[in-house]
Amino acid sequence: MSVLNPAPLAVVDEGIPNAPKREQQRRRRMQGSRPGWFVYTSLVIVLGAAIFPFYWSFLIGSGDASTIRDPNMSWIPGGNFLENAASVVNDPAVNFWPALWNSIYSSGLIALSVVFFSTLAGWAFAKLRFRGSRWLLVFVVATMAVPTQLGVVPLYILFSDLGWTGSIGAIIIPALTSAFGVFWMTQYLQQAVPDELIEAARVDGASSFRTFLTVGLPAARPAAAMLGLFTFVSAWNNFFWPFIVLDRSDPTLPVALSLLQSNYFVDYSIVLAGVLLSTIPLLILFVFAGKQLVSGIMAGAVKG
Amino acid sequence: MTTTATAPPSSAERPDAPAGPPSQRTPKRIAFGHRLSRWDLKLSPYLYISPFFILFLVVGLFPIAYTAVISFMDWDLVRNSGTFIGFDQYVYVLTQPKFWIALRNTFSIFLLSSIPQLILAIFIAAMLDQNIRAKTFWRMGVLLPYVMAPVAVALIFSNMFGDKYGLVNTTLADLGISPVMWHSDAFASHIAIATMVNFRWTGYNTLILLAAMQAIPRDYYEAAAIDGASKFRQFTAITVPSLRPTLIFVIITSTIGGLQIFDEPRMYDQYGTGGADSQWLTITLYLYDIGWGQWNFGRAAALAWILFLIILAIGIINLLVTRRVVRDEGARSSLGRREQRAAARAARRDLRRAASSGTLADAPEPESAPESATDTPEAQR
């Protein structure tokens, strides 16, 4: 069209006939054109760096005490992994099985509790109007910056007063709620549930709690699942407080690993076999839920 | 609910007794139902947040406040009570050379872990932001180290960084480089510990940055490409500036986490005391040693507060920087709606200008003409 037009107009219109072409280019840029070898090479290196320590611990963990000192160490795993794993599991000083159970039990309970309380509080902050809600939410967010170290001394005194030091409850109770969880659920529910839906439920005569159950909970499910995952992983990996408060006879896995290190620092093949053993449960979790973890991090800036 | 339930009887009674006691009673019942649902509306929010706040008061807030109290005391473990001694514990901690060494180490490890990590994370995120095959696979691969416990990571890496038989030194020897004393040299030990942190967190931050990158409108790149900006130029002029708010968020969170570092230095050798000469003693490691090695809770509490104040100070500095940057970029919602929109406009303009400054002189005239026409009045301000 612009081709037929007189010159002055042509200047203005010039963009138009190009538009479909540009649209094509754009689409190609967004979906079609594949990046070159450089991108893939870098990614392969990154992936290699991410996997290598796992492989290294298997390499050492499947050898024996002398493997690490062998200057011509083979890059092919030896055959001692099961043997080393057995000595980790059977060492009475390390308490591997109780540690595994404690980790599963405490992390699971913590994740469930954090999800429940955070969803409830997040719903109130996101969708219900009440006096002081803003101020309270700011307060919750502010507490996220408070380091764990600030509370450990009185918590320890409190728990030793109650005679709870050494019991697994001492690591569960302080972790039952999380400011981050409340913040996360608030953020999510704010945009996930339209206010009209709540009003509709109310007009239909649903009580506030019923509205939460029928509107809030279903909507919260994806975010709650992610929160549960992240809470589980960070509870599982937590070391500082369990290390302080738990008895060596009834540890969680990270605490057991620290015992393993002090018992076997002369034979690292056993230490690294134990490291791998203690990581297997989370690797299994990662296989099934890694996708959710990825999208959880990308959905909101999570830091656990 | 209750209002509709009580309505029929009132209408049924009206013809019989237009102004009697029953008609007085019915409005009362309506009012009661009303009041019930009013109370439901008013109270239930507090009911929902109360479990969180009650628990938080007991296990979160009370310990924080009580730490402050204890830090002014000489705590007696046997009697489980303390005597007030003012600022003595703070003075004691601050006059310990070990404290300053720990502070130096903490910052050194923090810088060695956060700066390379951020650079690496931006780079990897830029790779992942390309139109690659099997996106989920790569993303998951990058995140894999995150599921390994810091304690486990520390055990593996302290082995690889062994002074005598470690993988790193063996490799260095193969390359003809003299071995590094990863455990006796302070700076070398910081590098080793920072490597553990980087291993575990780089992928995590990569994904955060990747999410931020994907939120950048592709039009910017398109415009820049049309203007002839190279891929690299697009990266420095569009990607990096747009990432600034996210970058600062990542920096703040990694500051809070990084200054508390404990697991990795604790597991770096089998003694867990931060090295013979405190080469890799960090503040939290020192706190553990004072509290549960020397069993001096007053001092440990004072050190905890000092650590908190340091984190707070750095957090505030970060926040001030963030504020300024956010005003530049207009990407976060602490601003009002209108300010936000204005900031967004300004940011878009900045970006466009930044993008077109990489131009090879002749951008297609009709493309840039209308935009610059709308821009100039604002740009001149």
Q: What is the pLDDT of residues A133-185, one digit of tens each?
A: 889 888 888 888 788 888 899 999 989 988 888 899 999 999 998 888 999 99
Give me the count of residues in chain B. 381
pLDDT of A20 higher than 60: no
Distance (Å, whole) CA A101 – CA A105: 6
Residue B280 banded pLDDT, cuts 50, 70, 90? very high
Chain B nearest CA to A178, separation (Å):
8
Neighbours of B274 (CB within 10 A): 24
Interface of A with B in 234-263 (CB under 8 A): 236-237, 239-240, 243-244, 253-254, 257-258, 261-262
Q: What is the enclosing helix (H) or strand (E) of B340?
A: helix B337-356
Distance (Å, whole) CA B329 – CA B247: 12
**What per-residue confidence (pLDDT) applies to B360?**
40
**Boundaries of every domain in chain B:** 2-71, 93-380
B198 touches chain A (CB under 8 A): no
Distance (Å, whole) CA A283 – CA A109: 20
Architecture of domain B93-380: Orthogonal Bundle (1.10)
Residues from chain B contacting residue A173 (CB–CB below 8 Å): 59
Count contacts between A and B (CB, < 8 Å): 307
Chain A nearest CA to B43, separation (Å):
8
Q: Would you state the torsion angle of the CA atoms of residues B273, B276, B279, B282, taken in this order, to the nearest 10 degrees?
A: 20
- Average pLDDT score over residue span B80-105: 91
Distance (Å, whole) CA B117 – CA B124: 10
pLDDT of B42 higher than 90: no
Among B59, B67, B141, select the one facing A173 at the smallest CB separation. Answer: B59
- Average pLDDT score over residue span A74-81: 81
**What per-residue confidence (pLDDT) applies to A185?**
92
CB B117 within 8 A of CB B205: yes
**Boundaries of every domain in chain A:** 92-264
- Average pLDDT score over residue span B246-258: 84
Interface contact B272-A279, CB threshold 8 A: no
CB B207 within 8 A of CB A297: yes
Interface of B with A in 109-138 (CB under 8 A): 123-124, 127-128, 130-133, 136, 138
Q: What's the pLDDT tens digit per position in B181-193? A: 999 999 999 999 9
Interface contact B131-A146, CB threshold 8 A: no
pLDDT of B165 higher than 50: yes
DSSP A75: S
Write down the mean pLDDT value for chain B: 80
Interface of B with A in 221-260 (CB under 8 A): 221-222, 225-226, 246, 249-250, 253-254, 256-257, 259-260
**What per-residue confidence (pLDDT) applies to B326?**
53
Tell me which of B338 and A96 has the higher pLDDT.
A96
Residues from chain A contacting residue B55 (CB–CB below 8 Å): 117, 176-177
**Nearest CA-CA partner of B262 in A275, A43, A137, A254:** A254
pLDDT of A1 higher than 90: no
**What per-residue confidence (pLDDT) applies to A8?**
37
Residue B47 banded pLDDT, cuts 50, 70, 90? confident
- Average pLDDT score over residue span A85-102: 88
pLDDT of B166 higher than 80: yes
Distance (Å, whole) CA A274 – CA A116: 33
Structure tokens at B335: 């601003």
Architecture of domain A92-264: Orthogonal Bundle (1.10)
DSSP A50: H
pLDDT of A83 higher than 90: no
